[in-house]
A and B are shown apart, each in its own frame.
Chain A
């Protein structure tokens, strides 16, 4: 009887060793050299560098998310970014934290050039160096580089910076999804 117990123990041990070794080998051999998490998170953030999340830029916020921080502090990214982050981190998407601002349509900063006094304060504030100008000379925003973070609006002593909504034109227009016909009545019915 003892021999059969012994055989069972030996076989199980041997199996444990073999599979353990196999698993260990697989873990080494097929190790995924993926992006560090922070890079992946940073890639999903809109890079407005606006600081509305309370961090000085998108990357610091990405680092905080990687450490387990909340994912709903990015108003420029809005629902889309939260959804993408939730997918990446495999957590439940949360609604945008209104404390940090609300999702807005895309905007760019425009300097009313005849009012600009050339103080360079906005240039210093711009996180992406999208404002061009020199001291005592009129400044201008490089529209294609502006992220719409509005960090330049506050420092301006003469309030000559406007945040202008980007209007869709014929070249940026795209198709909308079909208007839900029956589905809409379903929803109305369901909510009623």
Chain B
């Protein structure tokens, strides 16, 4: 009899990376659905396009790096990167801007650093930040005005044509400043009640955006429930943002209120889907809380005093820089030891 010789354990839980990534994509569906319902077909087209470009560029780079293409494509991580970019880019982003974002995410941020598991920065956010600074106009003027699919939103064909042509004039009638952008620029010269009459805010917190954020929150809770992500990063993220908002922004005539921070912009997408990318995040529970809180605080700082209306990408990237530092100072205490051992031998700490 020929027996398999193997090291223990001999049993495994069958939830490979590909399955994990598949669940991430499934969990993003409520948010994508809300985006489509309240802002038209733009995000859906972006998502499909970005996923296709992501898989294509990943395959090309793997082939160039002489790695087994099929084996790595099947882990679905490139698709998730494409998905996240498609969800976070403005609805009417010209196709070449999206393509630049996705290709730089996959090629520069992921594969050039050694592929899956070796990238120090969140690939999707590298791509996003790159196009944000490279194409500032395209990235701020292409947000769809909140108009539901059943009333006012441009049709699928029109949206596709606008994205494909990339002409600013083609979409002028359908776009509108985002709530965060509007609030930030008007509040300096107006009172809160004057600012909030703008149609982007609608009747609730931020028309459409509140549903999108609710959708991503629901998806995020599903991921936590499935133990695909741990609660530490989202909780740290939202808590950091909330604490900052409550500490500084109690006066709505000066600063955006907490509700707007929570339910407008990319807050929930960032908290549950982007900041939780395990490769570029901190490791230990304590470290994850610090990492998430750091992102939340930075988002508030940049949204309030920085040049950009939203700041998930920059905040995540800045905290990516801090991950080795956080990991160094937050190792868990091993069973049977009085305190945690920090760092590696030879280094200070």
Instruction: Tell me if B7 is interfacial: C-beta within 8 Å of chain A.
Output: yes
Contact B68 A189 (CB under 8 A): yes
Instruction: Tell me if B66 is interfacial: C-beta within 8 Å of chain A.
Output: yes
Complex: A190 Cα to B65 Cα, angstroms: 7
Chain B nearest CB: distance from A189 CB in Å? Answer: 4
The A interface, classified by DSSP as helix, strand, loop or mixed, is helix
Interface-forming stretch among A42-50, A56-64, A68-76, A178-186? A178-186
Chain B residues lying within 8 Å of A189, measured Cβ to Cβ, are 66-68
Complex: A133 Cα to B67 Cα, angstroms: 61
Complex: A189 Cα to B67 Cα, angstroms: 7
Interface size class of B (residues with CB under 8 A): under 10
Interface size in chain A (residues, C-beta < 8 A): 8
Chain B residues lying within 8 Å of A190, measured Cβ to Cβ, are 66
Instruction: Tell me if B335 is interfacial: C-beta within 8 Å of chain A.
Output: no
**CB nearest to A175 among chain B residues:** B7
Instruction: Tell me if B3 is interfacial: C-beta within 8 Å of chain A.
Output: no
The one of A178, A182, A192 that contacts B71, using a Cβ cutoff of 8 Å: A182
Complex: A108 Cα to B68 Cα, angstroms: 45
Chain A residues lying within 8 Å of B68, measured Cβ to Cβ, are 182, 185-186, 189
Task: Please provide the chain B residues from 1 to 54 with a CB less than 8 Å away from any CB of chain A in the complex.
Answer: 7
Contact B67 A186 (CB under 8 A): yes
The one of A178, A185, A186 that contacts B7, using a Cβ cutoff of 8 Å: A178
Chain A residues lying within 8 Å of B67, measured Cβ to Cβ, are 186, 189
**CB nearest to B346 among chain A residues:** A87
The B interface, classified by DSSP as helix, strand, loop or mixed, is loop
Task: Please provide the chain A residues from 137 to 192 with a CB less than 8 Å away from any CB of chain B in the complex.
Answer: 175, 178, 182, 185-186, 189-190, 192
Chain A residues lying within 8 Å of B66, measured Cβ to Cβ, are 186, 189-190, 192
**CB nearest to B71 among chain A residues:** A182
Complex: A185 Cα to B66 Cα, angstroms: 9
Chain A nearest CB: distance from B234 CB in Å? Answer: 32
**CB nearest to B68 among chain A residues:** A185
Chain B nearest CB: distance from A154 CB in Å? Answer: 42
**CB nearest to B66 among chain A residues:** A189
**CB nearest to A188 among chain B residues:** B66
Complex: A9 Cα to B7 Cα, angstroms: 71
Complex: A95 Cα to B70 Cα, angstroms: 37
Chain B residues lying within 8 Å of A192, measured Cβ to Cβ, are 66
**CB nearest to A185 among chain B residues:** B68
Chain A nearest CB: distance from B114 CB in Å? Answer: 11
Chain B nearest CB: distance from A130 CB in Å? Answer: 34
Chain A nearest CB: distance from B117 CB in Å? Answer: 12
Chain A nearest CB: distance from B244 CB in Å? Answer: 38
Chain B residues lying within 8 Å of A185, measured Cβ to Cβ, are 68
Complex: A190 Cα to B299 Cα, angstroms: 42
Complex: A185 Cα to B68 Cα, angstroms: 8
Chain B window 68-81, contacts with chain A (Cβ cutoff 8 Å), 1 for yes, 0 for no: 10010000000000
Chain A residues lying within 8 Å of B71, measured Cβ to Cβ, are 182
Chain B residues lying within 8 Å of A178, measured Cβ to Cβ, are 7
Chain A nearest CB: distance from B76 CB in Å? Answer: 16
Chain B nearest CB: distance from A173 CB in Å? Answer: 13
Chain B residues lying within 8 Å of A175, measured Cβ to Cβ, are 7
**CB nearest to A191 among chain B residues:** B66
Complex: A118 Cα to B68 Cα, angstroms: 64
**CB nearest to A178 among chain B residues:** B7
Complex: A178 Cα to B67 Cα, angstroms: 20
Chain B nearest CB: distance from A135 CB in Å? Answer: 51
Chain B nearest CB: distance from A38 CB in Å? Answer: 20
**CB nearest to A190 among chain B residues:** B66
Chain B nearest CB: distance from A50 CB in Å? Answer: 30
Complex: A190 Cα to B66 Cα, angstroms: 6
Chain A nearest CB: distance from B153 CB in Å? Answer: 46
Complex: A192 Cα to B68 Cα, angstroms: 13
Chain B residues lying within 8 Å of A186, measured Cβ to Cβ, are 66-68
Complex: A185 Cα to B7 Cα, angstroms: 21
Q: A182-B68, A182-B71, A192-B66 are in contact. List 5 more A-B contacts (CB 8 A).
A: A175-B7, A178-B7, A185-B68, A186-B66, A190-B66
